[in-house]
Amino acid sequence: MISICVPTLTRVDLLHKMIETILDEKNTMLPDRIYIIDNGNQFLSEYIKEKAYEIYIPGFNLGVAASWNWFCKNVPEHRLICNDDMYFYEDTLERWINGYDENFVVYPGGVPSANSFSAYIMPDKVFNDVGDFDEEISPHYAYFEDNDYHRRMLFKGYDLKAITDCRIGHHSSSTLKRLNMTEHHLRFQLAQQNYIRKWGDLPGHEKYDTPYNK
């Protein structure tokens, strides 16, 4: 089973474009199912009618960490979790799946390492051992939960791995263009403070080997 998992908030236009590239008839591999968490109550009725889609509408914005947790608990392997502003090439899915390794969270090599969790495969082995993404770091938003998870992965002996021959595209800065920047900065600062409180400093400069607030 190969499933694409996408949380979306306010970018239904980019979601449409992404799905078009995923299901392009020229692609060398197609997914069995597409799972969408509609955090923004967008108009997705055309997908609900299709058997190839599963739509979860929580009624409010779960945030990134909670959305990822939902996918990891409700979607069987292989689950490919990605942002709604990505786009696929004809061989993206095939090369991504071919790079699967149960001991790594793998991501397309075309994605910068700092953004590896914008498109990744989460194996059951890793998630069951490391546990949930921390939903308290960036409540109902989207910062530092990936840094936290990677750090916890390393303590358990897992790591990230780029699939160098796998390409995937990204509509740059599409998130920031649609945000209230004052609210964005406030939420970013809150997540940053929560991360520092948990680990003692910013990513790459952590002081604690175990979370301070756990």
Judge contact between 7 and 58, C-beta under 8 A.
no
pLDDT, tens digit, for every residue of 100-140?
A: 999 999 999 988 888 999 999 999 999 999 999 999 999 88
pLDDT, tens digit, for every residue of 43-76?
A: 666 665 666 778 887 888 888 999 999 999 999 9
Residues 55, 61, 64, 68, CA torsion sign: negative
- pTM of the predicted model, to two decimals? 0.90
Higher per-residue pLDDT: 18 or 172 = 18
> Where do the H-state alpha helices sit in 32-180?
45-48, 64-74, 92-98, 124-130, 145-155
Judge contact between 36 and 53, C-beta under 8 A.
yes
pLDDT, tens digit, for every residue of 149-159?
A: 999 999 999 99
| Cα end-to-end distance, the chain, whole Å | 36
Structural domains in the chain, sorted by start:
3-171 (3.90.550.10)
Q: Which residues pair with 79 in a beta bridge?
A: 3
